[in-house]
Amino acid sequence: MATARPSSVFISPASLKMGALVVFIALYTAYSSGPFVWVAMMSLRTTTEIAADPYALPWPLHWEKFASAWTDSNYDAYFVNSVTVVLAAVAILTVIGGMAAHCFARYRFRFRGVLYFVIFSTIIFPPQVTVIGLFQILVEYGLYNSRVGLVLVYVSIQLPITIYILEAFFARIPNDLFDAARIDGYSEWSIFWRIALPVALPAISTTIILNTILLWNEFLYAVVLITEDDKRTLPLGVLRFMGDQLEDVGMIATGLMIAIVPVVLIYVFFSERLIQGMTAGAVK
């Protein structure tokens, strides 16, 4: 505590403190970003080059590796699967999650508190407790190894947090707005579409971005519910590729970059929204 105040030491404690701070920040930044820089460099180098020196700069740049990842391995199929599954799940989530959240925020009805608590409490459930039962159910209903089944499962796992974020936002919309729309002659259904959703657009986009990223990265349910190669999503695909081509480090790095790039793009364009969504559950 004494060092916090100006004192008569020879080296100014302020500059000492500043130096320590800079070193600490530099070290942590290297720890946190170094791995990305490394994998990004490797993704543009051939495996032979990497074997010669894993840490050299990528020169010449082998952009063609991305093209061959697309054509030679199954990355194109994995990528398309991931995009379709994630987009479908996010679209359904937004609509039915938005409807439920609107309902919880707007209306008072029997069992409202109980229902909300039950849905919300699933956030802390460990996935093991659902995954085995889900596996059996999907097998019985012919949804095992099907993208439709995976979409529905994805909807169900992201539903609680989606409702939680949206409900908090919907509840802040003043009730008068809905009364005004009622008097203006609109039904409850069109009030939802024409007033609630547009007004809640910031929260809606937050959940869309959050769900997109989390589902894009989802692994456990996919690995349990999808076994056929042509239905695999990107995380499964990358892992599968690694299993097949253990030594082909350069090509695996390219696959990793294909999985990372969409996320980074979303992050670059929507970083504030994304951070909001990711941290929504943590701040009360």
Q: Which is nearer to other proteins, 77 or 152 (CB)?
A: 152
Using CB under 8 A, pick the residue from 75, 79, 164, 216 that binds other proteins: 216
- Per-residue x/- marks for other proteins, 253-282, CB under 8 A? ---x--xx--xx--x---x--xx--xx-xx
- Give me the least distance between CB of 141 and other proteins, in Å please: 9
- Give me the least distance between CB of 71 and other proteins, in Å please: 22
CB atoms within 10 A of CB 85: 24
Using CB under 8 A, pick the residue from 77, 83, 91, 199 that binds other proteins: 199
**C-alpha 100: how far from chain center:** 22
Residues touching other proteins, count (CB under 8 A): 111
10 binds other proteins per the rule CB under 8 A: no
Q: Which of residues 120-179 bind other proteins (CB under 8 A)?
A: 122, 124-137, 152-153, 155-157, 159, 163, 174, 176-177, 179
44 binds other proteins per the rule CB under 8 A: no
Q: Which is nearer to other proteins, 57 or 283 (CB)?
A: 283
Amino acid at 91: A
111 binds other proteins per the rule CB under 8 A: yes
Q: Residue 171 corresponds to which tokens in the numbers above?
A: 């509840």
Using CB under 8 A, pick the residue from 44, 161, 165, 181 that binds other proteins: 181
Q: What span, in angstroms and rounded, lies between the C-alpha atoms of 135 and 34?
A: 39
Q: Which is nearer to other proteins, 38 or 63 (CB)?
A: 38
- Give me the least distance between CB of 80 and other proteins, in Å please: 17
Q: Which stretch binds other proteins (CB under 8 A): 58-66, 69-77, 236-244?
A: 236-244
Q: Which of residues 46-85 bind other proteins (CB under 8 A)?
A: 54-55
- Give me the least distance between CB of 28 and other proteins, in Å please: 6
Using CB under 8 A, pick the residue from 41, 43, 252, 270 that binds other proteins: 252
Q: Which is nearer to other proteins, 88 or 97 (CB)?
A: 97
3-state SS track over the chain:
CHHHCCCCCCCCHHHHHHHHHHHHHHHHHHHHHHHHHHHHHHHCCCHHHHHHCCCCCCCCCCCHHHHHHHHCCCHHHHHHHHHHHHHHHHHHHHHHHHHHHHHHHHCCCCCHHHHHHHHHHHHHCCCHHHHHHHHHHHHHCCCCCCHHHHHHHHHHHHHHHHHHHHHHHHCCCCHHHHHHHHHCCCCHHHHHHHHHHHHCHHHHHHHHHHHHHHHHCCCHHHHHHCCCHHHCCHHHHHHHHHHHCCCCHHHHHHHHHHHHHHHHHHHHHHHHHHHHHHHCCCCC
Using CB under 8 A, pick the residue from 12, 16, 24, 56 that binds other proteins: 24
Q: Are 226 and 154 in contact (CB under 8 A)?
A: no
